Structure 1
Amino acid sequence: MDLVETVIEDTRWEAFGLAALAESAARAALAGLGLPMAGFAISVLGCDDARIAALNADFRGRPVPTNVLSWPSEERGADSVGEAPTLPEPGDVEDPEPLGDIAIAWETCAREAGEQGKPMADHVTHLIVHATLHLLGYDHIEDEDAALMEALEVRILASLGVSDPY
């Protein structure tokens, strides 16, 4: 059973292979935290800048496009700054624990990858790993939390053969 259910609104994501890439990146994030592959569910929406700008306006009050958004199914943040959050328990295969939803925008991702001189697949992999960590309670608001999250991202991405994005 797949961990990630991918919904494609912008067909460029289908041609790109977002479903397989999101599955691989999310699985790597769970594995990097010692979580099992079964028993969890994530939804990923592959959309365009207009759609993500509307979502950003609705949920964050910022009516501009962004690269990726995430909505955890529940609050999982750490109790103290700089500490790892308590990780969720998996459900069973027939009734997996929902971790939350991710939306990713084509134009912003393509522009950023070009500006940063990196392959689009590497950039998108990073963003899906990043968003999956958000679903698991990690954040980067405080410097200590950002250092913890970024170190995890670098380690998880290395396991996929993706260079340090920082």
Structure 2
Amino acid sequence: MRAAIRRKKTALAAAVTERTLEVDFQNEGAFADRLPDNACMHKWMAAACERNTEVVVRFVDAKEGRELNNTYRHKDYATNVLTFDYSRTPIVTADLVICVPVLEREAAEQNKTFEEHLAHLLVHGILHAHGYDHLAEDEAEIMEARETEIMLKLGFANPYSDRIGMVHD
């Protein structure tokens, strides 16, 4: 009897902690020769979700990346990832923009694989959508610790082990 109750509680706990992630990938066809399959990218982002999440991930070239960064952040260069977070409750909704040429350049500079750096940028963007930030040193420590925890759980190295070429600007 106790074992049955224990199993029921375990099943209930699992159901309560299960989170959903709905992803719409845009423009991945333009970079199909480099990007992993959508299921793989979904798995990486799901690992960072703390609440039910709906996200659009758009892959862009340097021109579009620069235009978006200039329009929304008033910085005249393409950056690796932009997060546009719209709501955090009851569902996290956001758009992520990944600039593939910047991702490629940074991966080479940091001696990382394309997939490893992409996984990190997707995790980084999802955490931003969930309210994490790195503007202040204490915020950065919390966010980077969470990113590291997730990346290690996914089987990747600590993205901040060398502190070269930070993921954010």
Which residue of the partner structure matches residue 65 of structure 1? Answer: 78
Q: Indicate the structure with greater helix content.
A: 2
Which residue of the partner structure matches residue 5 of structure 1? Answer: 24
Residues 135-161 of structure 1: per-residue CA shift (max 9 Å, x gap): 011100010000000000000111110
Which residue of the partner structure matches residue 23 of structure 1? Answer: 42
- 2:146 maps to 1:127: no
CA 138–2 in structure 1, closer or farther in 2 if over 3 Å, else same: closer
Which residue of the partner structure matches residue 101 of structure 2? Answer: 107
Which residue of the partner structure matches residue 151 of structure 1? Answer: 145
Range moving further from structure 2, 4-13 or 127-136: 4-13
The answer (yes or no) to whether the contact 2:22–2:53 under 8 Å persists in 1 is yes
TM-score, structure 1 normalization: 0.78
TM-score, structure 2 normalization: 0.76
Listed as ranges, the gaps of 5+ residues in structure 2 are: 1-19, 161-169
Q: Determine which structure has greater relative contact order: mean sequence separation of CA pairs < 8 Å that are 6+ residues apart, divided by chain length.
A: 1
- Between the aligned partners of 2:59 and 2:33, the Cα distance in structure 1 is 8
User: SS where residue 131 of structure 1 aligns?
Assistant: helix
Residues 73-108 of structure 1: per-residue CA shift (max 9 Å, x gap): 13x5xxxxxxxxxxx43xxxxxxx352100001110
Aligned length: 141
- Between the aligned partners of 2:94 and 2:121, the Cα distance in structure 1 is 15
Structure 1 stretches (4+) deviating beyond 6 angstroms?
none
How big is the alpha-carbon RMSD for the aligned residues of Structure 1 and Structure 2? 1.9
